[in-house]
Each structure stands twice: as structure tokens, then as C-alpha cells.
Amino acid sequence: MIKGKKSVGVDIGSNAIKIIGLRKKKKIRIEFMKLTDLYMSRNVNRPEDLSDTLLVQVIRGLISEIKGGVRKVKTSVSGPNALVHSMELPNLSENEILSAIRWKLGSIILFNIDDVEIDFHVLNTNNNSNMQTVLVGIVPANKMKKHLDILNRAHLEPEIVEIDTLAIYNCFITLQDLHPDKTVALVNIGAECTTLIVIHPDHDPFFKSIAIGGNTLTRDIERTLHISFIDAEQQKIEMNYQLSHNTDNTNDYKEIGCKGPLLSMVAKLAEEVKKADIYYQILYGEEGLQRIYLTGGGAKLKNLDYLLADAVKVPVALWNPLKSEKLECGQEIENIDEMGLQFATSLGLALRDEL
Ligand SMILES: Nc1ncnc2c1ncn2[C@@H]1O[C@H](COP(=O)(O)OP(=O)(O)OP(=O)(O)O)[C@@H](O)[C@H]1O
Ligand SMILES: [Mg+2]
């Protein structure tokens, strides 16, 4: 971020569009923030009906509410095919790195290397060994083309397009102080995808994209209760399953229909976190996870933090990036507790040059 200049992050998620504008003064100031949930705003009733044209309309609507308008933005692509890898490479110049990455990726990824777009960040450089650690983001070229087309139709000009996993990581390490010697996990639960990042201040992060999110749960509730997607979405938001509360005796079919899918989602997430925890311990010889930070719209499910903590046996805290002391805001943000959880990606994009 350049001092005084506006930096705008746009996150076109599967369920919600988020836009945030920052300006760097003494602190980092939030100039504006906008969010539209495509389902709760009734723009769409089921994922099959979501079109690029609708996304363009919603983005244009949000931009039109911003004083002074917006043209240049930092944005991201997401999804199971957008991958992040960390690699060890010799210390090369910027131009040479890309060729070296392409060559190395040839043996790692399944798609044709010419059909992917690549982005990279140098994490650290070791002059003694003459090696550097590079984080590499890979996106299928057709996915990138579709994304650029939506931005173009919304009259937005991307300054940067990166993978949302990297934006979430950037948001966390920019705003959250890391405790020396402690390993933590950041879990961002979106609608289609969950990003899991294991972080320790002395080591490279570990990234994993998991194909589970808020929509997985909505679809399971839809199937179990034989209701429409949008009604299942509503049920999900209202549900309040409590660990201590003995729902096995309930006669409420809605409660029974929501409980099974919820517990299955918690079990799958817990398994992924435990696997990543063990992998990281073996790789770096550190102690296990000390804390899990939970964020993303999916983290708004009532009591999910308690259920996950009980399943993994590690303390879980909700992580709201908007509440960081490194940020300030001109006016009070309404619903900051609710909305903040959905802003890690857009905020990480707008903060991008802090990395
Ligand atoms: N109050 C709530 N209770 C439970 N779930 C909620 C609530 N509000 C939003 N969600 C869920 O959060 C998800 C959207 O979160 P988020 O905005 O982080 O996802 P996204 O960025 O659109 O998706 P993705 O990153 O997977 O493309 C949806 O599945 C939605 O149902
Ligand atoms: Mg998202």
C-alpha cells in the first residue's frame, strides 16, 4: 500500500461479493466496505441460477454506492483448482524465477502447464545456501479469463489478480501478531471452499484447500429435509445446535435434519486440521497447534467454534480481521461482528503491498 493512495480489494465469492477500500494514513483507514450476499438479497435462489451477468450487475450496484467511484482494484480467484505451492528455488532474478517455476510445476500439476496462469511471492531468501522459498499460485487459464471478463464488464481494472488463499494469508500475517514459538491454524470457511493455513513465525506456512463450505451444509440440509436450497440456507442460518443440549430426544424434524449434516461437516474439518497439524509437527519438529482461528462466512454458524474445539481438542477463537488494532474506521461499522468474518480475502487484497 502506498501512503495516501486508495487501495481497493474486491472478493467475488461463490455466495457473497465483498468490496473494501483502504487508505494508508498513520494507521490503515477503512474508507468504505460493501457486502452483498447473493442468496439472502434474493438475487438468486440456487447455485445453478448464478450467472456472470448477475454477478456483473451486483458488482456494478455496489460500486455505484461508493462515493467517488472505483476503477482500479485488487482481486482474487478461488476454488478447488486454484492451488498454492511453496517451493525451494535457487536465488534467481524475477524473470528467471517464472521459467524455473514452470519447469518445476510440470512434474507437480495435472493440467497442461500452458493452460495455467502463475503468480508468485518470494517468502524468504537465504544468501548462505543461495536458495529462496517461493509461494506459487496456480489458476487454470480459462478460470482467469472468466474472472477478467466479469471485471471488465463491471468497468473495473484489475491491478493485481491473485489466489484467495494468498490474500487470506496476507490478511492474517499483516494484522495479527504471531506469538514466537507457537503454531496456529487459520481456517477460512467460505461457501464452496475452506482454506486451511498452518502458521509458525519461524517456518514456511502450510496451505490446504478443502472442498467443504457453507454451501455443502446447505445442500445436505436441502436433501435431508426435502426443501429448496434457499429454505435450507435460511434453516442453516437459524439453527442453534448446542453441544450440551440433548437433541437426540427432540421430535423437531428440522432440528434432526440439520444436526446430522452439521456434525458431519465438523468431523470432516476436524480430520483435515488434525492431519495438517501432524504433518507440520513432523516437518518442522514443533509442538502441535496452540490455537485455531476461525473466519469466513461459514464460521458464523452458531456454536461451530465450540464443536470444532471439542473435535480437535485445541482452543478455537473466531477471527474478525476488521477488529484489528492496526485498522481504523471513520465511522462505526454496523454489524461488525457479523460482517467482519467475511472480509479476510478482500482485506488481504487491499493490504497486499504490505507483505
Ligand atoms: N449467519 C450465518 N450463519 C451461518 N452461515 C452463514 C451466515 N452468514 C453467512 N453464512 C454462510 O457463509 C457462506 C458465505 O461466506 P463467505 O462470504 O466467506 O463465502 P464466499 O467467499 O462467498 O465463498 P467462497 O470463498 O467459497 O467462494 C455461505 O455459505 C453462507 O451460507
Ligand atoms: Mg471466500
If one counts the domains in the chain, the total is 2
**Does position 35 have pLDDT exceeding 60, yes or no?**
yes
> Do residue 168 and residue 206 come from a single domain?
no
Q: How confident is the model at residue 3 (pLDDT cuts 50, 70, 90)?
A: low
> Are 279 and 334 found together in one domain?
no
pTM higher than 0.85: yes
Q: Which residues surround ligand 2, an ion (CB under 5 A)?
A: 13, 190
Q: Which of 58, 41, 38 is nearest to 49 (CA)?
A: 38
Cα–Cα distance for residue pair 116/109, rounded to 1 Å: 10
Angle at which helix 214-225 crosses helix 253-284, to 10 degrees, equals 150
Neighbour tally for 189: CB within 10 Å: 27
List, in sequence order, every beta strand (DSSP E) within the chain: 6-12, 16-24, 28-37, 72-77, 83-90, 116-126, 131-140, 157-163, 184-189, 194-199, 206-210, 291-295, 316-318, 327-329
pLDDT at 141 over 80: yes
Q: How far is CA 236 from CA 94, 105, 242, 317, in A?
A: 47, 40, 14, 21
Structural domain contains residue 245 = yes
Other beta carbons less than 10 A from residue 34's beta carbon = 19
7 and 36 in a single domain? The answer is yes
How confident is the model at residue 345, as a pLDDT?
98
**Coil, strand or helix at 8:** strand
Answer yes or no: do 284 and 145 share one domain: no
Per residue in 214-268, pLDDT tens? 999 999 999 999 999 999 999 999 988 876 655 555 667 777 788 899 999 999 9
Does 282 score more than 50 pLDDT?
Answer: yes
- Please check the confidence at residue 355 and state whether its pLDDT lies above 50: no
337 in the same domain as 299: no
pLDDT value of residue 252 = 73
Same domain, 182 and 278: yes
CA of 256 to the centre of ligand 1 (A): 22
pLDDT of residue 291: 98
Residues near ligand 1 (Cβ within 6 A)? 13-16, 78, 190-193, 213-215, 233, 236-237, 296-298, 300-301, 342
Element housing 211 (H / E): none
> Tens digits of per-residue pLDDT, 174-204?
999 999 889 999 999 999 999 999 999 999 9
Instruction: Give the chain's mean pLDDT.
Output: 91
C-alpha to C-alpha distance for 179 and 214, rounded to whole angstroms: 30
| Distance in Å, CA 252 to ligand 2 centroid | 32
Q: Is 259 left (phi over 0), alpha (psi -120 to 50) or beta?
A: alpha
Q: At how many degrees (to 10) do helices 229-238 and 214-225 cross?
A: 110
Confidence at residue 246, expressed as pLDDT on a 0 to 100 scale = 54
Q: Identify residue 263 by its one-letter amino acid code.
A: L
Q: What is the largest CA-CA distance in the chain?
A: 67
Tell whether 161 is covered by a domain: yes
Question: Do 186 and 326 fall within a single domain?
Answer: no
Query: Based on the domain organization, do 172 and 263 belong to the same domain?
Result: no
Residue 129 lies in a domain: no
Could you tell which of 17, 150, 266, 300 is best to mutate to test the pocket of ligand 1, judged by most ligand atoms within 8 Å of the CB? 300
Answer yes or no: is 114 within a domain. no
**pLDDT score recorded for residue 250:** 61
Q: Which residue blocks in 160-252 are alpha helix, DSSP H?
A: 164-175, 214-225, 229-238
- CATH at residue 28: 3.30.420.40
Residues 6 or more apart from 288 whose CB is under 8 A from it? 183, 277, 278, 281, 314
Q: For residue 205, tell me if it sits in a domain.
A: yes
Ligand lying nearest the CA atom of residue 39: 1
Cβ(81)–Cβ(105) under 8 Å? no
Whole domain around residue 325: which residue ranges? 1-78+141-176+320-355
Q: Are residues 268 and 339 in the same domain?
A: no
Nearest to 123 by CA among 91, 160, 76: 91
Residue 181 pLDDT:
87
Could you give the percent of the chain with pLDDT greater than 90? 68
Q: In what order do the strands lie in the sheet containing 16-24?
A: 157-163, 72-77, 6-12, 16-24, 28-37, 327-329
Q: Residues for the chain: how many in total?
A: 355
pLDDT digits (tens, 9 = 90+) for 65-121: 999 899 999 999 987 778 888 888 999 888 899 889 988 888 777 777 778 888 888
Ligand 2 geometric centre to CA of 253 (Å): 31
Ligand number with the minimum distance to the CA of 191: 1
Burial class (CB in 10 A: 0-12, 13-18, 19+), 231: middle
Distance separating alpha carbons of residues 273 and 295, to the nearest angstrom: 14
- Is the pLDDT score of 126 beyond 90? no
For residue 110, tell me if it sits in a domain: no
Task: Specify the pLDDT at position 189.
Answer: 98
| Residues 35 and 157 reside in one and the same domain | yes
